[in-house]
């Protein structure tokens, strides 16, 4: 039971990281479309 919960949490973590990466890419594309040359710094939690 514990192992399944750990595996499920790991899969969810990977999905969240991918969603974040996709959102950051979309945000960057929007800024480029608006002609922005500078981008806000990325804040990473660890």
Name the residue with higher pLDDT: 38 or 30: 30
How many separate domains does the chain show? 1
Distance between CA 17 and CA 7 in Å, rounded? 15
| 45 domain-assigned | no
In a 10 Å sphere around its CB, with 0-12 CB exposed, 13-18 middle and 19+ buried, how is residue 31 labelled? middle
At 36 the pLDDT is 85
| 40 domain-assigned | no
Structural domain for 29, as ranges: 1-35
| 3 domain-assigned | yes
pTM above 0.85, yes or no: no
Distance between CA 36 and CA 13 in Å, rounded? 31
| 24 domain-assigned | yes
| 46 domain-assigned | no
Q: How confident is the model at residue 45 (pLDDT cuts 50, 70, 90)?
A: low
């Amino acid at each position: 039971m514990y192992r399944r919960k750990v595996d499920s949490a790991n899969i969810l973590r990977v999905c969240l990281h991918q969603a974040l990466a996709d959102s950051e890419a979309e945000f960057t594309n929007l800024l480029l479309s608006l002609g922005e040359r500078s981008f806000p710094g990325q804040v990473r939690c660890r």
